Amino acid sequence: MGLEYAGGIGRWQDPAIGRNGSSPEDGVSENGSSDGVEKVLIIGSGPAGWTAAIYAARASLDPVVYVGVPKQDPGPVLPGGQLMLTTEVENYPGFPEGVQGPEMMMKFEEQAKRFGTRVIGEDITECDFSTDGSPHTLRTSGGQTVRAHAVIISTGATANWLGLENEMRLAQTGGGVSACAVCDGALPAFRDQHVAVVGGGDTAMEEATYLTKFASKVSVIHRRDELRASKVMQERFLSKPNAEVLWNKTVVDVHGEEKISGVRLKDTVTGEEADLGVKGLFVAIGHTPATKFIRDTGLEFDDAGYLELKTRSSATNIQGVFGAGDVSDAQYRQAVTAAGMGCQAALDAEHYLGAKGLA
């Protein structure tokens, strides 16, 4: 049996005794429902999940959030999402002086719990979604079976990393390694500095072009002799006076103790290695949506593996199952858009439950 997340960093407790004194094995949900079925169960605890919880709790839907457990895949995956790996957040409304990513997620959690949201520190590992409107059945990493009328999936997407030890260390400590130029590129640490971007697709070109506004020089590091990005995106970047592409190169190490000082490059043709001094490294080799645990459940996905939403709502192809945040957004991937999608999902779930006479 796993530990129950009691809120805040590092706070865990034994779930054998529920908050109302009942055991999970009693068949009575902690929200007091005699049939043991949750009204709203939220999977994931980033901006989308917490916002959904806030709205659902204020609508008296007694939501429960399964925040997940820390893991490596291959980089760190933490309850709270990618913002737990972000230092300064300057583009989220309401924080004029900026805010640390983990601090912001703790505030989201505190606000959700203020309205009665229950928080469980386990993963949802299996889902058996019904197609006839009956409750959905889910299983947790602690071996429990949970049933819910409405499920909101907000597990996010993880950045793809190179997997280098120093890369991950500096990414986790705010040392100048990032997977989001739009999030971090305008920070003072990167202004008027030489920075590098790893990648060759449209995302890499978009991030590199954005960085040319702030950095003195932007070097795109690509392992081949041609870019995968569209011609338009390539031209947009290469037209900048402070842009360059380093062809046939891979990053084999990242230098620096507290802050990045450079990268070690290996030529994919000759095998020769050389150092490049940079003050920032942006890894732009894609994202992977956290959908492995729902791949064979009947839900529909797009070609990139993101949860597919049929309309502007959060509804999936299965009634009573909703998507929110980066798990269903391959385009924007911002905290503020994820939060907005969490709001949508909670409102859609409320309407769905209302139509069934459950709200």
Active site residue 183: yes
CA distance 106 to 127: 28
Angle between helices 47-58 and 101-114 (to 10 degrees): 20
Close Cβ partners of 28 (under 8 Å, ≥ 6 residues apart): 22, 34, 36
Contact 254, 280 (CB under 8 A): no
Q: How far apart are CA 51 and CA 316, in angstroms?
A: 19
Structure tokens at 220: 């795109």
* CA 66 to each of CA 72, 274, 288: distance values in angstroms, whole numbers, following the listed order: 18, 46, 20
The alpha carbon of 213 is separated from its chain's Cα centroid by a whole number of angstroms, namely 26
Of the residues 183, 326, 329, 348, only one is catalytic, namely: 183
* Known catalytic residue at 127: no
- Extract long-range pairs of 177-180: CB within 8 Å, 24+ residues apart: 177/254, 177/260, 177/280, 177/281, 177/282, 177/283, 178/280, 178/281, 178/282, 178/283, 179/82, 179/282, 179/283, 179/284, 179/287, 180/82, 180/86, 180/207, 180/282, 180/333
- Name the pairing type of β-strands 99-100 and 88-89: antiparallel
**Given 184, 326, 329, 348, which residue is catalytic?**
184
Catalytic residue among 123, 127, 180, 348: 180
CB 228 within 8 A of CB 203: no
Classify 344 as helix, strand or coil: helix
Query: Annotated catalytic, 253?
Result: no
Which residues are tagged catalytic?
Answer: 180, 183-184
